[in-house]
Amino acid sequence: MKEHLHSVNRAVTGLSALASTAQPMASTKAMYRFLNNDETVLPALIEPAQEAVRDALTRSTAEVALVVHDWCMFSFRTHTSKDDLFRRSHDKDLGYDLGSALVVDADSGRPLGPMEFRLQTARGMLTTRPHTDLEPVAHIDEILGVMDDSRRWNLGKPLVHIIDREADSVGHYRAWHAAGHRFLVRAKDDRIVRWKGEAITLKALQNRLDADFADPPEGPALVAQSKFGPAKVQVLEVEVVLERPALTRTDTGRVQTAGPPLTLRLILTRVVTADGVVRARWLLFTNVDAEHTAVEVAQWYAWRWRIESYHKLLKTAGMNAEEWQQECGEAFAKRLVIASMACLTVWHLQEDASVEAERLKGILQRLSGRQKKHKKPPTAPALLAGLEKLLAVLDLLETESLEDIVDLIRRCLPRLLNSS
């Protein structure tokens, strides 16, 4: 895991050697043997990350834990050595399709860590779930299995599963609710619901209720920082019923499947800038108990973005996983789990508000060479990049003294020291 903190540069597609390793090639070969060892299995590899999540939740004051679901495609258009790349849509859309379940603190929005990975390859689905052979299905059809499996995670808090509009499906809502799971899903505005006895689309309902939006009665309006400047978040809640048949895909096309009416809370949310312009809207379905306010639920959904940042950290903003040279999906999946634990290290440092941690974050930001706005905290990608350089320096100091290095620079590059 330390080596993954040491190789986040886009140009570094292999692992760098640490001080305890004689040569970079030896480090690379050791990792190759580890990732391709049949006794190294995904369920065992993810256990440290899962335990870190459980430990973090014991210290959390939140009443629930948020489980955010999303998918991410790792593209390898030029990798000729990988013969199990999954074709998502067309012949050139090749790669591995990752499904993640990321636990987020419901009070602070802090990402605590992944509890499950599922990696779709051309040879089938790989998963960190123990004793399970998953069949490739549509993304949304994977969710119920994750929800059911989450009961063995022992997280110590009720779970709320958060998913984007891809999961807006009447049939799946009914199945999740019947199984006793709590969910929060962003709905599409063409969804037809029954409200006060009237069948109406969510878009029409939203327009009809536009004048009823107000600042939350629980306190001051939520404040958001949008690309248009400071804004406030306004929330409105109504009760709606989903009663239409679900559309189910079959080999012969879509068929309608009737089901019982399902009553849900509809949380209408909008972001309004200082000039009174509505810049964004969310339509949220949830079956979470009413003891959690609409404002609280809207904030939970806003933290769904944490999983997007997490996937970005695995890709272009950090680990550069699309540059990895593993030749099969199984080895790639194992390395992803290890890299995720390196991401956990950065997240934990981000949340540490101690004087020592703040000083270390400042050092890492400086080492990263990345720019940030004044008084803004360092981002996870900046901390990851800074850690890469810091570990390189620490490795160097294991074998060379600082005085000798400065003396060499003074002899060979005298102008470098004089200019500084």
What pLDDT digit, counting tens, does each position of 276-312 carry? 888 888 999 999 999 999 999 999 998 999 999 899 8
For the chain, what is the mean pLDDT? 86
* CA dist., res. 323 & res. 7, Å (int): 11
pLDDT of residue 420: 47
In a domain, 365, yes or no: yes
pLDDT of residue 225: 56
Domain count, the chain: 1
Interhelix angle 355-368/380-399, rounded to 10 degrees, is: 90
In a domain, 309, yes or no: no
Q: Which whole number is the average pLDDT over 395-419? A: 85
pTM: 0.87
pLDDT of residue 300: 94
Query: Are 167 and 188 contacting, i.e. CB atoms less than 8 angstroms apart?
Result: no
Lookup result for tokens 């807006």: 168
In a domain, 373, yes or no: yes
pLDDT of residue 4: 56
pLDDT of residue 13: 42
In a domain, 359, yes or no: yes
Confidence of residue 369 (pLDDT cuts 50, 70, 90): confident
Name the DSSP class of 377.
P
In a domain, 108, yes or no: no
What pLDDT digit, counting tens, does each position of 309-368 carry? 899 888 877 788 888 888 899 999 999 998 888 888 888 888 888 999 999 999 999 888
Lookup result for tokens 């570990």: 391
What pLDDT digit, counting tens, does each position of 220-241 carry? 445 555 566 777 888 999 999 9
In a domain, 78, yes or no: no
* CA dist., res. 372 & res. 214, Å (int): 34
pLDDT of residue 265: 98
- Residue 68 pLDDT greater than 70, yes or no: yes
What pLDDT digit, counting tens, does each position of 13-23 carry? 444 545 455 46
In a domain, 197, yes or no: no
pLDDT of residue 419: 53
Q: Is the dihedral of CA 29, 35, 38, 39 positive or negative?
A: positive
The residue segments making up the domain with residue 382 are: 352-419
Q: Which whole number is the average pLDDT over 99-107? A: 96
Q: Which residue has the higher pLDDT, 138 or 181?
A: 181
Confidence of residue 12 (pLDDT cuts 50, 70, 90): very low
* CA dist., res. 334 & res. 36, Å (int): 9
In a domain, 397, yes or no: yes
What stretches of 109-204 adopt beta strand conformation (E)?
A: 111-121, 124-127, 159-163, 182-186, 192-195, 198-201
Contacts of 162 (CB under 8 A, 6+ apart): 66, 67, 68, 69, 104, 183, 184, 185, 300, 301, 303, 304
Closest to 325 in 3D by CA, of 80, 100, 1, 120? 80
